[in-house]
Structure 1
Amino acid sequence: MTPLSLGPLGQIARSVRDIDAAMAWYRDVLGLPLLYSFEGMAFFDLGGTRLYLQQDPAAGAESILYFKVDDIDTVHAALTQRGVAFTQGPRCIHRHSDGTEEWLAFFEDLEGRPLALIAQKRS
């Protein structure tokens, strides 16, 4: 059998109930660059991976999107100033043997679905 090699993740899809409100929130509150939008759809750049939002009136809970950041405390403060309510502020969840720490902070989008910040801190 020929070996199969998949590339990096190219796109993540998320359903939203109101595309206009979601597009404004992801663009204006989270600061994600809008690539383009069409009827009921919006595409954002997540550092080379596209976030695809599609309007679906029955949208419900979905998997967590983890946004990688360099300075979790600064981004947490900036998003809080923009009105984002965090369900759990920045906290260390693991320390590697080399002293590097894994940090997470959780919040929700306009429709109550989970999002998170993820960062590594080196001692």
Structure 2
Amino acid sequence: MTDIQSSASIRRVGQIALSVHDIDRGVAFYRDVVGLKFMFQAPNVAFFDVAGVRLMLGMAESGEFKPEGTVLYFDAADLDADFAAMRDRGAEVEQAPHFIAALGDKELWMGFFRDPFGNLFALMSER
């Protein structure tokens, strides 16, 4: 057996793709409600910069759009304030911020939302 970890040259996640069925609505939501840094839009795709990782919104390829099991977790500087701001801007709350797990000397807390297409995403914080 080979040591895969020692031979891998992967440095970081460069881009994440998220399927939507309306690019303009997706751009408005992730830019204006979530507050991500909008980069640019082309036919059927739009890109955001999330601390150096690109988030690509792309049109769902199948005619029938169904959100899958992908969940985006955004690290929040102030979980409670950021959660309240997104909620107040119209994000659909799935679960308010709550304790998830003890991580040694810190606790992991998360709050969950749904985007307009049913995709689940979360704000997270280690307290």
Could you say whether these structures have the same fold, taking a TM-score greater than 0.5 normalized by the shorter chain as the test?
yes
Look up the match of 1:10.
14
By how many angstroms is 1:78 displaced? 0.6
Q: Distance in 1 between matches of 2:119 and 2:31?
A: 17
Query: Aligned ranges for residues 8-47 of structure 1 at < 5 Å?
Result: 8-47=12-51
Residue 115 of structure 1: aligned partner: 121
2:84 is the alignment partner of 1:77: yes
Deviation at 1:95, TM superposition (A): 1.7
Kindly provide the CA deviation profile for residues 55-108 of structure 1, in whole angstroms up to 9, marking residues without a partner as x.
12433213001111121101111111111221100001112332x110011110
Alignment match, 2:74:
67
Greater Cα offset, 66-75 or 56-65:
56-65
Q: Secondary structure at the match of 2:31?
A: helix
2:103 corresponds to which of 85, 96, 101: 96
In 2, Cα distance between equivalents of 1:97 and 1:117: 20
The CA deviation at 1:118 is 0.9
Q: Which runs of 4+ in 1 moved over 3 A?
A: none
TM-score w.r.t. length of structure 1: 0.91
* Amino-acid identity (%): 39
Quick one: distance in 1 between partners of 2:104 and 2:23? 44
TM-score (norm 2): 0.88
Name the count of aligned residue pairs: 120
Segments of structure 1 that go 5 or more residues without pairing to the other structure are: none
In 2, distance between residues paired with 1:41 and 1:117?
24
**Kept in 2: contact 1:69–1:118 (CA 8 A):** yes
State the AA in 2 paired with 1:120.
E
Q: How far apart, in 2, do the equivalents of 1:11 and 1:86 lie?
A: 25
